[in-house]
Amino acid sequence: MRFAKKLVPIALLSCLILTGIPLISLAQADPLQPGEVAVGTVFENLFIYTPLQHDIVSHVLTLGFAAQAAGLVYFLATLNNVAPRFRLSSVLSAVVMSSAFLELFQIFQNWNSSFVFSDGVYQLGQTAFSNGYRYMNWSIDVPMLLLQLVVVLGIARKQAVSYGTQFIIGGLLMIWTGYIGQFYEVTNLAPFWIWGAISTVFYVYVLFVVGQLINRTAGDLPRDPDNLPKAMRFVFWFVLVTWTIYPIAYLMPVLWPTAWGAVTRQVLYTIADITSKVIYGVILSYIARKQSQAIGYEAAIATARR
Ligand code: RET
């Protein structure tokens, strides 16, 4: 076991060195000549889009950031409906909403400025599109989303710190190893697969810890009248399904390497962003409000339907 523990950093380091070499050569690529198009390392930049395809992405991206803005208003406006001990969950949702709003707005602008309309189609202009911004946003949002579970389940401090640490470390390693992998999506599929696989190991670990936390503690939630243990178990499956859309989007360059594949990838990201951040937050705020009613918190009771 101790030997196995040592193997992990050694394996990671070897992968880093192995894949670092092509990354350096990418960075040293020849400078662009006048009139040349910057194709770079990003799947979306390889294609020419019809106005229909270009507009679908542009429109769907507006849905993405508008939903985060709407979510921000919802979480702030309903903050006082939950007891103070669960309130941090809504605050964390609001943090997720603001950072996602900024990032998705930036991606939207990036998409519209990267492709220029000429001869009836949209082609890459002087700037390049990149999904890398998404990974930076996840670095904030994934730890926040996971910490919300710890808050809503109301577990003891020692346990909360232990789960919180596993979530933050596991989540960040999942994102950052995937971030390295996505640089190779069109240039070198070996490191793309290797880093994707390493990231998946951390993803499975995070899911395992989420499942363990919910399994151990959901039974303590009030059963009457709203069956909160069942609602909390639903949250696990909801996380599993909505989070898994992200690795599918990661794989798009191998699954569907066409302009429609690139359009679908942005649609998938948007579905994942709305469900895993906004809808997830709404479900947790519902559970927090029901728990607040159960402990006799007046403002929560006042919101109950008769
Ligand atoms: C990557 C790389 C390929 C392998 C796996 C991935 C998982 C990504 C996930 C992202 C979740 C993001 C969320 C963001 C919310 O703000 C990194 C794409 C498994 C699960 C929930």
Inside any domain, residue 162: yes
Tokens (6 digits) for 219: 């039974």
Cα–Cα distance measured from residue 214 to residue 286, given in angstroms and rounded to the nearest whole number: 16
User: Quick check: 217 and 163 in contact, CB under 8 A?
Assistant: no
Q: Is 59 helix (H, G, I), strand (E, B) or coil?
A: helix
Residue 202 domain flag: yes
Please tell me the distance between residue 34's alpha carbon and the centre of ligand 1 in angstroms. 37
Residue 261 lies in a domain: yes
Mean pLDDT of 199-218: 97
180 lines ligand 1 (CB under 6 A): no
Classify residue 4: in a domain, yes or no. Answer: no
CB of 141 closer than 6 angstroms to any ligand 1 atom: yes
Alpha-carbon distance 167 to 150, whole Å?
10
- Residue 293 within any structural domain of the chain: yes
18 inside domain: no
Pick from 200-214, 271-285, 291-305: least confident: 291-305
Residue 251 · residue 269 · CB < 8 Å: no
Q: In this structure, is residue 131 part of a structural domain? A: yes
Residue 18 has pLDDT above 80, yes or no: no
Report cis status (omega within 30 of 0) of the bond before 253: no
- Give the closest residue (by CA) to ligand 1 atom 18: 247
Question: How many structural domains are present in the chain?
Answer: 1
**Is residue 179 within 6 Å of ligand 1 at its C-beta?**
no
Q: Where are the alpha helices (DSSP H) in the chain?
A: 2-27, 51-77, 84-114, 132-153, 157-182, 189-217, 228-250, 252-255, 259-273, 280-294, 298-302
- Interval between CA 281 and ligand 1 midpoint (Å): 17
Residue 203 CA: nearest ligand 1 atom is 19
pLDDT at 45 over 70: yes
Q: Is the pLDDT of residue 224 over 70?
A: yes
Share of the chain above pLDDT 70, in %: 87
Give me the pLDDT at residue 41, please.
82
138 CB under 6 A from ligand 1? yes
- Which residue segment(s) compose the domain that 113 sits in? 50-304
Check pocket membership of 278 for ligand 1, CB cut-off 6 A. no
User: For residue 193, what is the domain's CATH number?
Assistant: 1.20.1070.10
pLDDT of residue 29: 47
Q: What is the pLDDT of residues 105-116, one digit of tens each?
A: 999 999 999 999
pTM of the model: 0.89
Q: How far apart (Å, rounded) are the C-alpha atoms in residues 112 and 58?
A: 7
* pLDDT for the residue numbered 9: 55
75 lines ligand 1 (CB under 6 A): no
Using CA of residue 126, residue 130, residue 136, residue 141, what is the dihedral sign? positive
Per the domain annotation, does 34 fall within a domain?
no
**If you measure from the C-alpha of residue 295 to the centroid of ligand 1, how many angstroms do you get, rounded to a whole number?**
36
pLDDT-based confidence at 257, cuts 50/70/90? very high
Site of tokens 């003891």: 156
SS3 (DSSP) at 122? strand
